[in-house]
Amino acid sequence: MSEYYDTWTSGMSPEDAVRFVSRKRNMERLGTFRRMWKARVWRENYEEKKCRVVTGAANALEGMGRRFEALYLLENKKFVDISDSEEDSTDEFEMKLAFSKLLFKDGKYDRSVNLLEDLIASFESSVPDKRSVKLIAMASDAFYFAGWVCVHSDNHTRAYDFWSRGANVMMGGEALLNRQA
């Protein structure tokens, strides 16, 4: 920990100090993302995408133990909708993938796997030549994660189907999917 946090955590047990520092950092991150959202930084700075701001804020909320708010942030279409913007489908895919991971953490396996199935179907229906490297990596993650969601809901056959389908779609290029399949 830095000297800055040492002054705040003196007298705390090591576990309490780690929790305190983590919460403080997440509060600072959330404040930064809120300011970025209000300033609409993605309009002036192409590198700062709306997707990054929203998923960063959701991750900060999750880190603070405010999962319900993080889920609401990613699900609320009035706040998050990027379909009307100039951003590409990769950003929408990333936000939905983050949302499905939070649903999984919240124990909502069916909703999580349904969302992952939609993402996988959209990837499979896309034109292979137009897929970005980032989209391919996220699709691989979606296949892999969908399998594990199925394992946690005691559907091992379906998990194997996701992994083998992912290995076929990725043409054997993903070591994790190949190992699971």
- The number of CA neighbours under 13 Å toward the Cβ of 128 is 3
- Which one-letter amino acid corresponds to residue 114? N
Report pLDDT for 146: 92
Report pLDDT for 42: 67
- Whether residue 81 is predicted with pLDDT greater than 50 in this model: the reply is no
Q: 29-33, 50-54, 84-88, 100-104 — which is least confidently predicted?
A: 84-88
Please report where in the chains the tokens 């990054």 appear, as a residue: 52
Tens digit of each residue's pLDDT (9 = 90 or more) over 115-156: 999 999 988 887 777 778 888 888 888 999 899 999 998 989
Of 18 and 4, more confident: 18
Among the listed residues 155, 148, 154, the one whose alpha carbon sits nearest the alpha carbon of residue 163:
148
CA 98 – CA 103 distance, rounded (Å): 9
CA 176 – CA 123 distance, rounded (Å): 18
pTM, 2 dp: 0.70
- Whether residue 89 is predicted with pLDDT greater than 60 in this model: the reply is yes
Tens digit of each residue's pLDDT (9 = 90 or more) over 19-53: 777 778 878 888 887 777 777 776 666 556 777 77
| 105: its two tokens | 């953490």
